[in-house]
């Protein structure tokens, strides 16, 4: 045993190194467990019987708790982004391109990001809390004893529902964001309605909207996977469920921003 210092201040360096190695293995193990959960989910994606009733129930639940916050976030968030873009355009005499700024800001970035922040913050955490409560009550163990695959029965419907709701909410947020940009550009910053509408499709088109929808779907899928994975591995009673919910928020946001950077880079270079 190696020690540093003397008296009460002796530090066991061997124990510290062992703890560091254990934490490293813990991180690698958690990543491996998430990979296994993802593979099992995709394996059961088309496995019969398809849980349509559970999918509809979860989709309605996620949509119900997410649609109002998504709209309330989209109005000020997208409006302020468009306001800042229009200020720059106005300084270079390009206020007639305000619609293009709105299209680029909302369709490419703000729409998917606003949508998935709400889906991850509300939907994924609710999924994690639900599955975590089932886990600590040993309901998941009982399901396995009955010969039912919890991945197929519980995880797949929730993951698919999160992805589907994210795609739907992205359409709503994009429409609300464009409408908010129109109000800001025309009634606040002096652009004409014709200028806004005519320039809307100059820099963005159907392809950009499709990329935004793909982003939202991938984001929703990842958020659902993280919520299900951490919920099914919650332990330690209600405190453990609360910790799993907090981890869901942090891990989801990190994965979403990383995935957004990758998809944006690929789409712009394609």
Bridge partners (DSSP) of residue 11 are: 4
Interacting residues of 247 by C-beta distance below 8 A, sequence separation 6+: 230
According to the model, what pLDDT value does residue 115 have? 83
Q: Which tokens in the block code for residue 259?
A: 């995935």
According to the model, what pLDDT value does residue 226 have? 92
Q: Which tokens in the block code for residue 267?
A: 């789409």
Instruction: Using alpha carbons, list the distances in angstroms from residue 17 to 10, 21, 22, 61.
Output: 15, 6, 9, 46
Chain segment 15-43, per-residue pLDDT in tens: 444 443 444 445 567 777 888 888 888 88
pLDDT > 60? residue 207: yes
Task: Give the range among 54-63, 142-151, 187-196 with minimum mean pLDDT.
Answer: 187-196
According to the model, what pLDDT value does residue 270 have? 64
Q: Which tokens in the block code for residue 69?
A: 């916050």
The answer to whether the bond into 40 is cis (omega within 30° of 0) is no
According to the model, what pLDDT value does residue 147 have? 80
Q: What is the mean pLDDT of the chain?
A: 80
- Determine the average pLDDT of the residues in 207-236: 88
Chain segment 87-113, per-residue pLDDT in tens: 777 777 766 677 777 777 788 778 888
3-class state of residue 77 by DSSP: helix
**Rg of the chain on CA atoms, in Å:** 23
Q: pTM score, two decimals?
A: 0.81
- Alpha helices (H) in 44-153, listed in sequence order: 52-91, 98-102, 111-118, 125-136, 139-145, 150
Higher pLDDT, 216 or 97: 216
Tell whether the torsion through CA atoms of 175, 253, 84 and 75 is positive or negative: positive
pLDDT > 50? residue 11: no
Distance CA 46, CA 171 (A): 26
Tokens 């509408």 belong to residue = 197
The full set of domain ranges for the chain reads 64-269
Higher pLDDT, 56 or 19: 56
Distance CA 47, CA 45 (A): 6
- Determine the average pLDDT of the residues in 201-214: 80
Phi, psi of 12 (to 5 degrees): -85, 95
- The rounded percent of the chain whose pLDDT value lies above 70 is 87
- Determine the average pLDDT of the residues in 195-203: 76
Q: Which tokens in the block code for residue 20?
A: 């560091």
């Amino acid at each position: 045993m190696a020690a540093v210092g003397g008296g009460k201040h002796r530090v066991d360096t061997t124990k510290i190194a062992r703890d560091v190695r254990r934490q490293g293995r813990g991180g690698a193990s958690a990543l491996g467990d998430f990979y296994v959960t993802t593979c099992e989910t995709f394996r059961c994606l088309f496995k019969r019987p398809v849980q349509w009733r559970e999918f509809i129930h979860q989709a309605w639940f996620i949509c119900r708790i997410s649609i109002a916050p998504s709209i309330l976030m989209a109005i000020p968030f997208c409006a302020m982004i468009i306001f800042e873009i229009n200020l720059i355009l106005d300084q270079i005499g390009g206020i007639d391109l305000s619609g293009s700024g709105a299209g680029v800001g909302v369709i490419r970035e703000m729409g998917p990001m606003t949508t998935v922040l709400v889906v991850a913050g509300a939907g994924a955490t609710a999924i994690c809390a639900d599955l975590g409560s089932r886990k600590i009550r040993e309901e998941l163990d009982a399901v396995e004893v009955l010969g039912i695959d919890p991945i197929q029965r519980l995880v797949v419907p929730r993951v698919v529902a999160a992805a589907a709701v994210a795609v739907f909410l992205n359409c709503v947020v994009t429409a609300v964001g464009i409408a908010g940009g129109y109000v800001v550009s025309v009634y606040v910053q002096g652009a004409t309605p014709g200028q806004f509408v005519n320039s809307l499709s100059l820099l963005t088109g159907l392809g950009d909207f499709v990329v935004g929808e793909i982003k939202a779907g991938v984001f929703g899928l990842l958020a659902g996977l993280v919520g299900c994975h951490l919920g099914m591995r919650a332990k330690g009673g209600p405190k453990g469920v609360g910790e799993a919910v907090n981890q869901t928020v942090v891990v989801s946001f990190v994965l979403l921003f990383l995935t957004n950077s990758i998809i944006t880079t690929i789409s712009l270079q394609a």
